[in-house]
Amino acid sequence: MQSRVGSHGTLEEGKESKDPLTKVANQSRPLQLRLLQCLLLFLGVAIVFSFFSMYMMRYLGGQNVIASVPEARILACVQEPTTLENWIKPPSSSFHRMNDSELFWRASFVPQIKTYPFKRVPKIAFMFLTRGALPMAPLWEKFLNGNEGLYSIYVHSLPLYQPDFPPSSIFYGKQIPSQMVEWGRMSMCDAERRLLANALLDISNEYFVLLSEACIPLHNFSIVYRYISRSRFSFMESFDEDSPFGRGRYNANMSPEVNITEWRKGSQWFEINRKLAVDIVQDNIYRPKFEQFCRPACYVDEHYFPTMLSIQFPHLLANRTLTWVDWSRGGAHPATFGKADITEKFFKRILDGKTCIYNNQPSTLCFLFARKFAPSTLEVLLEHSSEFFGF
């Protein structure tokens, strides 16, 4: 003990010492002390860390295996027998610990008896594919307000993005486990498949709408719901374009799965029904071909689903999109609208004077959504939503 107390003095002396051996011997005592200090510090950190991890496990919803095994055993003794409720209840949270193989497998389950033994109200799944924030969230909240039970929401954003919706928001907790997305590459289609797979876990989701953070609704919910649910076709745009930007992007290595007469192009923003959603999630025939042979300047999100579905289910497609966009300004990207663009005339231009085919009949109602709108437009859109859109 005494020697340790005096060790500081020894160290000073040691510094002066000319004999290297004495120096080492003298330094070894403070070294021991230091080791002991380090050990104690390490022990302290370890204890704090284990308390922290225990807390985190609970905080993360007790989904951890370690935490949930005893709970499951206890529950097994008191749980009621399985009811249908257990099978049809949607997951309570968008968060889960399945990787893509597990998730897609689970999402591909399809009942073989086509009559539901319960009252199933078909819902629209609004799936937001975003980089980060959802600036138009307040407009969507206003649009969806009062239609609970007829819709669900899923958000896929870049993995590092932390959403900050308050618990009162309908977007709270709607983030699905996300992965990195590179625009124009297969990782983008994979993100869309991930959104579809998550939405498929809720048996009541029947219609699946892909949207971006720059999308807005153009009509009130009743009109949107009726239009989608009464359509005999899914709104996947799909056309054959004989140009460098259409057939020009085809790669002969894709045959025999896809040959050039089957090659299609279409907007990334779609609405599809449950049958097509399952088909996309379970696909492992076309995906490898597109991943390998459709890379920029072949933008896979403009070709993969339109081509694949046109080959497999041409009779189920409307071959047009519900999402209006303005390509008239030219260039590689469509126009983005700012605050100054938003006038009643502007929306008249989008909504009026259009014709399209709906259920094999001519229709003047062609678009339900529009893009691209800058965050600066939110305020004026919210203020005038009843005049512009009827909600």
Ligand X SMILES: *[C@@H]1O[C@H](CO)[C@@H](O)[C@H](O)[C@H]1NC(C)=O
CA-to-CA distance for 254 and 261, rounded, in angstroms? 12
Q: How many degrees, rounded to 5, is the angle at CA 211 between CA 205 and CA 216? A: 110
Q: Does 390 bind ligand X (CB under 6 A)?
A: yes
Q: Does 288 bind ligand X (CB under 6 A)?
A: no
Q: Does 93 bind ligand X (CB under 6 A)?
A: no
Instruction: State phi, psi for 295 to the nearest 5 degrees.
Output: -125, 155
Q: Does 338 bind ligand X (CB under 6 A)?
A: no
Q: Does 202 bind ligand X (CB under 6 A)?
A: no
Contact 380, 388 (CB under 8 A): no
Nearer to ligand X, 213 or 235 (CB): 235
Q: Which of 22, 79, 255, 364 binds ligand X (CB under 6 A)?
A: 255
CA-to-CA distance for 290 and 287, rounded, in angstroms? 5
The rounded Cα 111 to chain-centroid distance in angstroms is 25
Nearer to ligand X, 11 or 350 (CB): 350
Q: Does 292 bind ligand X (CB under 6 A)?
A: no
Cα 291 to Cα 101, 114, 159, 300: the distances in Å are 17, 34, 21, 8
Q: Which of 100, 202, 257, 341 binds ligand X (CB under 6 A)?
A: 100
Q: Does 108 bind ligand X (CB under 6 A)?
A: no
Neighbours of 346 (CB within 10 A): 13
Q: Which of 143, 227, 233, 250 binds ligand X (CB under 6 A)?
A: 233
Nearer to ligand X, 11 or 150 (CB): 150
Binding segment for ligand X among 45-53, 292-300, 311-319, 343-351 (CB under 6 A)? 311-319
Q: Does 107 bind ligand X (CB under 6 A)?
A: no
- DSSP letter at 247? G
Q: Which of 3, 83, 101, 243 binds ligand X (CB under 6 A)?
A: 101
Contact 116, 91 (CB under 8 A): no
Nearer to ligand X, 10 or 231 (CB): 231
Q: Does 267 bind ligand X (CB under 6 A)?
A: no
Binding segment for ligand X among 33-41, 156-164, 197-205, 309-317 (CB under 6 A)? 309-317
CB contact set of 143 (below 8 Å; sequence gap of 6+): 217, 220, 221, 385, 389, 391
CA-to-CA distance for 97 and 299, rounded, in angstroms? 30
- Residue whose tokens read 């510094």: 15
Nearer to ligand X, 94 or 319 (CB): 319
Nearer to ligand X, 79 or 359 (CB): 359
- Residues at the interface with ligand X (CB under 6 A): 99-102, 220, 222-223, 233, 238, 255, 259, 261, 310, 314-315, 317-319, 390-391
